[in-house]
Structure formats: structure tokens, C-alpha cells
């Protein structure tokens, strides 16, 4: 695969006395979307939290562009261009859309930069422009997901970690979210995306990782996965359309 800007090796992490990750290694190529999949409880969300410093690694390492960032806090990682969109709703529900966006740019020093970046986000998500003064709690599920992703994009991340971006969305919005991931990668952002909708996700992913019981069990290009009938049946359940997603408006 292409050069990996995100690399993790031998990661062990978990909660209290329970270790979830069992010496997990892998990475994500620069300027590409990498899919991370596997059954519920495999450790996918735990891996993203460990990469982003929400959970502390008990052993192993995380490197961004060759720099060891193991043990750094989420705020430190934000300043290095790493952003994380967790699963579920992670907004300030009583605050307006614009205030949620502004809080997402907390490590951006210039007020003008913040305004310019918010404008860039609104180009991606024009629906948010219509709801700028609305409370986040009043948004639909799809609009809330747009706001969460948009807030992360304010940092112009080099690496974007996204956990289950399609969960709870309509088929149309799922397609739009995956198209956005493809657009971000084409613009140079590295995307590591946890996603259960493997068939749809592979249309925008160049590489696939799969976990099971806290271990990495697959790490290979998406096309290799699709060409192997046993792996295709195991992870996809049958044939899949691999034609690239077409960005909206093109």
C-alpha cells in the first residue's frame, strides 16, 4: 500500500483490568480511506480511542508521519492534525450549530481562520447553513452527523478517525457521508473509518483492516479482499459493487 502516515504497533489497551486490544498493529495510508471492520465487540472503537489518546495504551506505539505520539492527549493530537469523530452523538445539545462549530475550532488561534474554515464546512454541508441558529438538539440525526463531521473538518486534519459514520442515517445520507470521505481523501486527508456497512464502504476505501476478539485478522488492499472468494464471503456475504463513489454535483 502507499506510505502509511498513521502507524500503530503492538497496541494493548482496555478498561479497568480488562485488556481489549491484544497487540494490535496496522495503519492507514496517506490520502486514502482505510476501512476498519469486524464484529461487534472486536475492539474497533477501542482502537480509535487508543490512537486518539482517549484511552492510554498499556504497551505498543502510535506514530503519525513517523513521530511517536503514544500517550499524547487528544488536545495535543488535535494540534498535530489528528481529529476524531466518535460513534453516537457528541455535540453540545443546548448550543446552536454555529457555537458547536466554533467550539470545534478551539485550537485555531485566528478568528478570521475560524470564520473561513466554517465557511468551507458549510460548502460541504449547505443544510447546516440553514440551521446555524438552531439548537443542536433540534437537528435530525443526519444533520447532527453532518455537524459532528463538519466540526472535525474545521481543524483541516491530516488524519481523520471516524467511528460508524453511517449509523442511523438514511441510505441517501449514507451515500453522501461516504462520498465526503472520498473527497477528503482526494484532497489529501488520511481517513481511518470504522464501518459495518462494508459493501458500501468498500466503494470509497483502498485498504481494509478487520479485527476479531481484540486482534487484527486482516490487513490488505480492498481489491485483494474482493478477489479472494473466501474472504469476500466472510466479510461481505457475497458480491459487492466496487465502482468508486461519484461526488455530488460532478
**pLDDT tens across 133-178, in order?**
999 999 988 888 889 988 988 888 999 999 998 887 788 888 888 8
Domain termination site, one of 103, 130, 156: 156
pLDDT band at residue 230 under the 50/70/90 scheme: low
- Residue 19 belongs to a domain with what CATH number? 3.40.50.300
Task: Please give the grid coordinates belonging to residue 8.
Answer: 500503530
Contact 215, 59 (CB under 8 A): no
Predicted structure pTM score: 0.86
Which pLDDT score is estimated for 201?
Answer: 87
User: How many separate domains does the chain show?
Assistant: 2
Helix (H, G, I), strand (E, B) or coil at 226: helix
pLDDT tens digits along 52-96: 999 999 999 999 999 999 999 999 999 899 999 998 778 899 999
Judge whether residue 239 has pLDDT over 60. Answer: no
The verdict on residue 113 lying in a domain is: yes
Q: Which domain holds residue 99?
A: 91-156
Taking the C-alpha atoms of residue 236 and residue 59, their distance in angstroms, rounded to an integer, is 32
Taking the C-alpha atoms of residue 16 and residue 26, their distance in angstroms, rounded to an integer, is 24
Residue 4 falls in which region: left (phi positive, over 0), alpha (psi -120 to 50) or beta: beta
Backbone φ and ψ for 68, nearest 5 degrees, come out as: -75, 115
Q: Could you tell me the CA-to-CA distances from 114 to 127, 134, 144 in Å, in that order?
A: 19, 19, 20
Considering the domain architecture, whether residues 7 and 69 belong to the same structural domain is answered as: yes
The verdict on residue 86 lying in a domain is: no
pLDDT band at residue 236 under the 50/70/90 scheme: low
The verdict on residue 245 lying in a domain is: yes
The verdict on residue 101 lying in a domain is: yes
Domain termination site, one of 130, 156, 182: 156
Which pLDDT score is estimated for 203?
Answer: 84
Other beta carbons within 10 Å of 58: 12
Q: Could you tell me the CA-to-CA distances from 26 to 88, 147, 218 in Å, in that order?
A: 25, 29, 9
Task: Please give the grid coordinates belonging to residue 135.
Answer: 439548537
- Looking at the chain, list the stretches that DSSP marks H as alpha helix, in order from N- to C-terminal side: 44-51, 74-79, 97-104, 111-124, 126-130, 141-153, 171-186, 198-201, 222-227, 229-236
Which pLDDT score is estimated for 1?
Answer: 54
Amino acid at each position: 500500500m502507499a506510505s502509511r502516515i498513521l502507524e500503530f504497533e503492538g497496541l494493548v489497551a482496555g478498561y479497568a483490568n480488562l485488556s481489549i486490544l491484544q497487540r494490535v498493529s496496522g495503519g492507514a495510508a496517506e490520502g486514502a480511506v482505510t476501512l476498519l471492520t469486524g464484529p461487534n465487540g472486536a475492539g474497533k472503537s477501542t482502537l480509535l480511542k487508543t490512537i486518539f489518546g482517549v484511552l492510554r495504551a498499556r504497551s505498543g506505539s502510535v506514530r503519525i508521519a513517523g513521530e511517536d505520539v503514544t500517550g499524547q492527549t487528544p488536545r495535543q493530537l488535535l494540534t498535530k492534525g489528528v481529529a476524531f469523530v466518535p460513534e453516537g452523538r457528541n455535540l453540545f445539545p443546548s448550543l446552536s450549530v454555529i457555537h458547536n462549530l466554533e467550539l470545534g475550532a478551539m485550537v485555531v488561534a485566528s478568528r478570521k481562520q475560524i470564520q473561513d474554515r466554517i465557511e468551507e464546512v458549510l460548502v460541504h454541508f449547505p443544510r447546516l447553513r440553514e440551521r446555524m441558529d438552531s439548537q443542536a438538539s433540534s437537528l435530525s440525526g443526519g444533520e447532527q452527523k453532518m455537524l459532528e463531521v463538519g466540526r472535525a473538518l474545521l481543524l483541516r486534519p491530516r488524519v481523520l478517525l471516524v467511528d460508524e459514520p453511517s449509523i442511523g442515517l438514511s441510505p441517501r445520507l449514507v451515500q453522501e457521508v461516504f462520498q465526503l470521505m472520498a473527497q477528503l481523501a482526494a484532497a489529501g486527508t488520511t481517513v481511518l473509518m470504522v464501518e459495518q456497512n462494508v459493501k458500501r464502504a468498500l466503494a470509497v476505501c483502498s485498504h481494509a483492516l478487520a479485527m476479531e476478539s481484540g486482534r487484527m485478522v486482516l490487513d490488505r488492499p480492498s481489491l485483494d479482499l474482493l478477489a479472494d472468494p473466501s474472504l469476500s464471503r466472510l466479510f461481505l456475504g457475497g458480491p459487492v459493487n466496487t465502482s468508486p463513489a461519484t461526488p455530488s454535483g460532478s
